[in-house]
Amino acid sequence: MDYPINEKVTPPYWKRRNNSKAYRKAYQLLAQKIPLQYEGKVADIACGCGGLLAKIYSRLKKGTLVGTDNSEKMLLISHEFLSAKGIASEIYESPDNVDFNKPGVYLIKDDITNSKLPDNIFSRLFFTFPELGEDYPHLPEEESLINRAICEGLIDSSLAIESASTLIANSHLSRIVKPNGLLIRTNYLQAEKSEKSFYNEAIINWQQELAKFTGFSLIECIFREDEEIYKDTVNYRLGELLSQRAMAGYWTTVMRKQH
């Protein structure tokens, strides 16, 4: 899946990614974070073409399944993808008119950086392989959050721009997860082959601190080697070379929201 950088924003890219063997495998593994015959409220934030939604749906007995995206085109593509698999869904222009207590599959136009989703609603929340930009204008409260993270040593001021999107997304996601609910995230990152790698330990430690800072506790942080998925990173597409000690892939973190 070696695509030009300027193709990242187009539906053809997302469709090819959604149907790729690598992502289908990843979605299957992620969906296993949902118990079989689950009856709670589940959401996939920035759901794209609906690949993960379909895998999650197969594990639900009944309940509410929500996919959000800031693109109306992507919601339509997701609706068509689910329909082709026999999964009925409804599209909404905003969360305002959605009855989240009514079982069903709802595709909602919503921007996680300024989400209108209700507080404390989802028992399982997915935010995977995101394309959340780092250059969008930050709200005053987001700037305050970044500054507090710098003051408390969570992020270095020289890396604030790179870390801001992850930090801000976690803070928004924290609001819409129920207490004791789970947030499942993925991040495109390398890992080192050594089991006692300082780099790997540093990633896990940072995820622990990030979880605590945004109202979660870290349950799991694991790395999966998959170079095809890692090829979607901007750095790779700009010509980044992997070191001989590195493995390309993604980290999956599972965090539980505190009371």
The residues facing 189 across adjacent strands are 249
State the average pLDDT over residues 207-217. 89
For residues 165-176, give the mean pLDDT. Answer: 81
pLDDT at 2 over 50: no
Give me the mean pLDDT over the 1-26 stretch: 70
| DSSP structure string for 152-187 | TTSS-GGGHHHHHHHHHHHHHHHHHEEEEEEEEEEE
Backbone angles phi, psi at 243, to 5 degrees: -75, 160
How many residues are recorded in the chain?
259
**In the predicted structure, residue 51 carries a pLDDT above the cut 90:** yes
Residue 8 has pLDDT above 60, yes or no: no
* pLDDT 10s digits, 71-115: 999 999 999 999 999 999 999 999 999 999 999 999 999 988 788
CA atoms of 164 and 154, how far apart (whole Å): 11
CATH topology of domain 5-257: Rossmann fold (3.40.50)
Per-residue pLDDT at 161 exceeds 60: no
pLDDT of amino acid 157: 54
Instruction: Determine the average pLDDT of the residues in 138-151.
Output: 66
Task: Give yes or no for residue 234 having a pLDDT over 70.
Answer: no
Domain segments of the chain as ranges: 5-257
Say if residue 141's pLDDT is above 80: no
What backbone phi and psi angles, to 5 degrees, belong to 41? -95, 125
d(CA 94, CA 240): 39
Q: Would you call 86 exposed, middle or buried from its count of C-beta atoms within 10 A (0-12, 13-18, 19+)?
A: exposed
